[in-house]
Amino acid sequence: MFLQGLDELDQKIVQLLIENARMSYSEIGAKVGVSRVAVKLRIQALEQRGVIEEYTTVINPQKLSGAVSCYFEIETEPSALAHVVEVLKADDTVTQIYRVTGDSRLHVHAVAASAREMEALITEVIDPLPGVTRCSCSTILSRVKDIKGLRL
């Protein structure tokens, strides 16, 4: 087990929440064999420890008319990395930024309402960034497999 500190009951609770974060404490309790109150206390403890960070609604941009979703691999000069990250974090089109190993320093996901909006991100935000030495962009054509959360 790569998650130290989670006992078998916590693992079952977390797995159920990954499958359906809207499941009630009572439903979870019935599935794992404990009371609603015990489930609530367990979940609150997991939240306080930072194991559970948030509950959210995931929108599939490909189901929205005209939406464009892209992944960027961005390489920067070491001295420019912090500034590039701050600029990208401030842009609403950018949904995820990961610091990665390998040829690129950053793996960035962006979702735009249209191809024109995605092009604006590239030409008005990314291209002018000082210290960017390479940027590649891949447009997502379809979602084949997309696991949310952690599989225990």
How distant, in Å, are the alpha carbons of 12, 40, 77, 110, 139 from that of 73? Answer: 36, 41, 14, 11, 12
Q: What is the pLDDT of residue 1?
A: 39
Round to whole Å and give the CA distance between 11 and 3.
Answer: 9
pTM given for the model: 0.67
- What is the DSSP annotation of 99-143? E-SSS-SEEEEEEESSHHHHHHIIIIIITT-TTEEEEEEEE----
Report the alpha-carbon angle 67-59-65, nearest 5.
25
- Assign residue 36 a region: left if phi > 0, alpha if psi is -120 to 50, beta otherwise? alpha
Q: Averaged in consecutive runs of 10 residues, what is the pLDDT profile of the chain (152 residues)?
A: 71 88 95 96 93 81 80 94 96 95 88 93 96 94 75 52
**What is the reported pLDDT for 150?**
58
Given this model, what pLDDT does residue 151 score? Answer: 54
Domains for the chain: give ranges and CATH numbers: 8-48 (1.10.10.10), 61-139 (3.30.70.920)
* Rounded CA separation 44/37 (Å): 11
- State the pLDDT at residue 19: 84
Q: What pLDDT score was predicted for residue 15?
A: 86
In the chain, the amino acid numbered 56 is T
